Amino acid sequence: MKIVYCLPEISLPGGIGRITSIKANYLSSIGHDVYIVTTDDNNNPPYYKLNDSIRLIQFDINFSRTRKSQIIKRIRYRLQNLTKYKKLLFTFLCTIKADIVISTFNSEANFLYKINDGSKKILECHFNHDIYKCIEKYRSPSFINKIIGRYKTFENEKLVRLYDAFVVLTDEDAALWRKLPNMHIISNMNENNDTIKSKLCNKRVIAVGRLDGQKKFERLINIWKEVCKNIDDWHLDIFGQGPDENMLINLIKSYNLSDSITIHKPSTTIFNEYSKSSILAMTSVYEGWGLVLTEAMSCGVPCIAYACKCGPKDIIKNGINGFCIEQDNKKDFVEKLLLLMHDKTLRVEMGRNASECSKQYNIEIVMKKWILLFNNLNRNE
């Protein structure tokens, strides 16, 4: 089969790029022709290693170029870019005659289903149905953003029905979309990890993600401030980059926590970092999945996360392989962190359970579901 993935970029670290590269590498390794189409890479090389047989098509469009411009200019520029992107993608797809084309729910989602090139179209959701409610609550609580968010949610509900298949990552999110007839639930997967395991001896908590309003690391820093009142020989290492970096550094300094919190650049060997850690903490205000949870679990690291929409409640078995904390319950988050820090026996038990639970996200298991979907769509022509 010829399979095309469409996404904004693969030159920067991020969950969508990471998962797409894992899928593309797996599919190409078993003989499929795989293409990755991006719009915002600016001719930069992929951050994640791709097999030589994968063809990377970089359209020079750059939707993010005027993100900080005035709204009228942003709208005009976006409409121009959408027109340009539609023409380029139409020509490309009609030329290569793909069997399957997958949108990761970005700009092309608005028109991809209309391109009559003979391929089956799949819309793959990496956020969740209520994303705009989450943004409204935690990031942009204005009346106009509330109206815009509800309109976008309404439009998304209509859009997903127009695709041959609509894929969500969790049971929780499927329920929010009300289990549409073209919906399929396929979780994200981990890269195979059978050897890199943590001994859970290091007094180190790890957190991983983009430094922005979604991941909300300032919440974790505030939690750590309370933790340090009870314990002073553990260290918090945050791996990521993003627009909130300076704000977070200043917050750490203002709390006099520079000796116990370090912010690192993203790591291409993140599994080695998990193996040096004893707990993973995640304080996101919304997710589509929470890839760092299953990655850490595969290394035998227990996780503590806020029960945001969507992902943690599907992944974490509360009290078994980690703790899923009610949103905004800072007191409980602090208590559970301290519990795992003080009790190595509990850490080891939860880590063992985490490692076992992570096996269901093995790449072979998850990709069998994708290949079955591809085959079923092609049979239904």
In this structure, the answer to whether residues 310 and 210 fall within a common structural domain is: yes
**Domain range spanning residue 293?**
204-361
pLDDT tens across 330-339, in order? 999 999 999 9
CA distance 358 to 302: 11
Domain assignment present for residue 194? The answer is: no
Domain assignment present for residue 20? The answer is: yes
- Give the phi and the psi of residue 322 in degrees, each rounded to 5: 165, -165
- Is pTM, for the whole model, over 0.85? yes
Domain assignment present for residue 84? The answer is: yes
Average pLDDT, stretch 175-183? 93
Query: Across all residues in the chain, what is the average pLDDT?
Result: 94
Domain assignment present for residue 234? The answer is: yes
In this structure, the answer to whether residues 27 and 168 fall within a common structural domain is: yes
Pairing of strands 55-58, 183-185: unpaired
Domain assignment present for residue 292? The answer is: yes
CA distance 188 to 85: 27
In this structure, the answer to whether residues 137 and 155 fall within a common structural domain is: yes
pLDDT of 203: 98
pLDDT of 62: 87
In this structure, the answer to whether residues 208 and 132 fall within a common structural domain is: no
Look up residue 54 and give its DSSP letter: P
In this structure, the answer to whether residues 24 and 168 fall within a common structural domain is: yes
In this structure, the answer to whether residues 346 and 369 fall within a common structural domain is: no
pLDDT of 253: 98
pLDDT of 137: 78
Find out whether 242 and 211 touch, Cβ atoms under 8 Å.
Answer: yes
In this structure, the answer to whether residues 159 and 15 fall within a common structural domain is: yes
Domain assignment present for residue 100? The answer is: yes
pLDDT tens across 99-123, in order? 999 999 999 999 999 999 999 999 9
CATH code at position 285? 3.40.50.2000
201 alpha carbon, distance to own chain's centre: 28
Domain assignment present for residue 261? The answer is: yes
DSSP 160-208: GGGSSEEEES-HHHHHHTT--TTEEE----BPP-SS----S-S-EEEEE
Q: What is the CA radius of gyration of the chain?
A: 21
pLDDT tens across 193-241, in order? 778 999 999 999 999 999 999 999 999 999 999 999 999 899 999 999 9
Total structural domains within the chain: 2
Exposure string for 95-130, b = 16+ CB within 10 A, e = fewer: ebebbbbbbbbbbbbeebbebebebbbbbbbbbbbb
CA distance 358 to 337: 21
In this structure, the answer to whether residues 177 and 70 fall within a common structural domain is: yes
Domain assignment present for residue 196? The answer is: no
pLDDT tens across 52-104, in order? 999 999 998 988 766 556 777 878 888 999 999 999 999 999 999 999 999 99
CA distance 334 to 151: 37
